[in-house]
């Protein structure tokens, strides 16, 4: 089954770019239908335009409800069946969550639920993991619902926390793992060997 993907990004969208590159290389049975950002100057727009992925800016601050409706409509009009969040730092609204229920996925750079929730993203996750003294971290791909980092888990990869690790060192190892893990998980969904919860 060819996955019809939409992407949400607020910054570089590095996982989304890795996914688009995997499609172009024939490593992922999918189509990149649309990339949406809440920021007009989103860095991901540059690579997306260069690689032929349609882009759309939908600012959310002035009217979140209208933005939510516009996002759901744009994804539907482009034939998107699965939305991939790639560093999208806004909570999704009820229209998008309702229309794409169970079909929005996110990658989180730490074990869930212990190191998730509002405000837990990027470097903050790795700092909390190192400070806690746990022996391993994880990269988790999960379904998105109305709560931050809360939806059902699809898959995870563990990442050891090494003796003397800094948050920066752990972050580098996690980031190196994320794009390939996302691509492999999506390919398993396309093949039917992995199912959405």
8-state DSSP, 11 = S
pLDDT digits (tens, 9 = 90+) for 146-189: 998 999 999 999 999 999 999 999 999 999 999 999 999 999 99
Domain boundaries, the chain: 3-191
Residue with token string 């601050």: 61
Band of the pLDDT at 35, cuts 50, 70, 90? very high
In sequence order, which residues have a C-beta less than 8 Å from that of residue 60 and are 6 or more positions away? 38, 67, 68, 90
Does the structural domain 3-191 have CATH classification 3.40.250.10?
no
Question: Known catalytic residue: 150?
Answer: no
pLDDT digits (tens, 9 = 90+) for 139-150: 999 999 999 899
Band of the pLDDT at 131, cuts 50, 70, 90? very high
pLDDT of the residue at 181: 97
pLDDT digits (tens, 9 = 90+) for 78-113: 999 999 999 898 889 999 999 999 999 999 999 999
Pairing of strands 30-37, 55-57: parallel
Closest Cα partner for 71 from 43, 38, 117, 48? Answer: 38
Please state, as a whole number, how many other Cβ atoms lie within 10 Å of the Cβ of residue 133.
7
């Amino acid at each position: 089954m060819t996955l019809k993907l939409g992407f949400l990004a607020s910054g570089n969208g590095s996982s989304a770019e890795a996914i688009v590159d995997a499609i172009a290389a024939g490593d992922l049975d999918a189509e990149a239908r649309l990339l949406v950002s809440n920021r007009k100057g989103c860095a991901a727009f540059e690579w997306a335009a260069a690689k032929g992925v349609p882009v759309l800016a939908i600012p959310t601050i002035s009217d979140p409800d209208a933005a939510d409706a516009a996002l759901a409509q744009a994804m539907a009009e482009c034939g998107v069946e699965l939305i991939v969040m790639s560093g999208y730092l806004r909570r999704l609204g009820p229209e998008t969550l309702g229309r794409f229920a169970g079909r929005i996925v996110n990658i989180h750079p730490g074990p869930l639920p212990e190191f998730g929730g509002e405000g837990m993203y990027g470097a903050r996750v790795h700092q909390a993991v190192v400070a806690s003294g746990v022996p391993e971290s994880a990269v988790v791909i999960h379904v998105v619902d109305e709560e931050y980092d809360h939806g059902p888990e699809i898959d995870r990869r563990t990442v050891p926390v090494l003796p003397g690790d800094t948050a920066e060192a752990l972050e580098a190892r996690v980031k190196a793992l994320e794009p390939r893990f996302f691509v492999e998980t999506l390919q398993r969904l396309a093949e039917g060997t992995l199912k959405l919860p």
